Amino acid sequence: MDRPATFGRVWTDDETIVLVEMMLGIGDARECWEDNKDILVDMIELSLPGWGITQPQVEARIKCLRREYMQIKKMLKSPVFYWDEVHHKVEGDQEVLDMWFRVSNVESI
């Protein structure tokens, strides 16, 4: 499957899973994945040949994942949210969740 090699690619769940697995693999080897970002691209290319994922795309996706992680971490510090172990997502009162995302989106602009 040909994929565009543009910087602003939309990552699929499969691509994200491969990226995270590669990052964890580097960590398991007692290496810092941040020091080995160039290797990540090569590792992803081996797992997803021909998809054309570039270094800037990997760095942008990592930045996005880090931002999402920090938001989830912040949410879970609040007593109104909890982690759903079955569905692997943050849960809470829907009205409070909606308000959280409205406020969070305003802050990030």
For residues 1-18, one letter each, b for 16 or more C-beta atoms within 10 angstroms of the residue's C-beta and e for the rest, the string is eeeeeeeebebeeebeeb
pLDDT tens across 13-72, in order?
Answer: 888 888 888 888 887 877 777 777 778 888 888 888 888 888 888 889 988 898 888 988
Residue extents of the structural domains in the chain: 1-68, 78-109
DSSP string for residues in 52-89: ---HHHHHHHHHHHHHHHHHHHHHHTSTTEEEETTTTE
Name every residue whose Cβ is closer than 8 Å to that of residue 64 and which is 6 or more positions away in sequence: none
Global confidence as pTM: 0.71
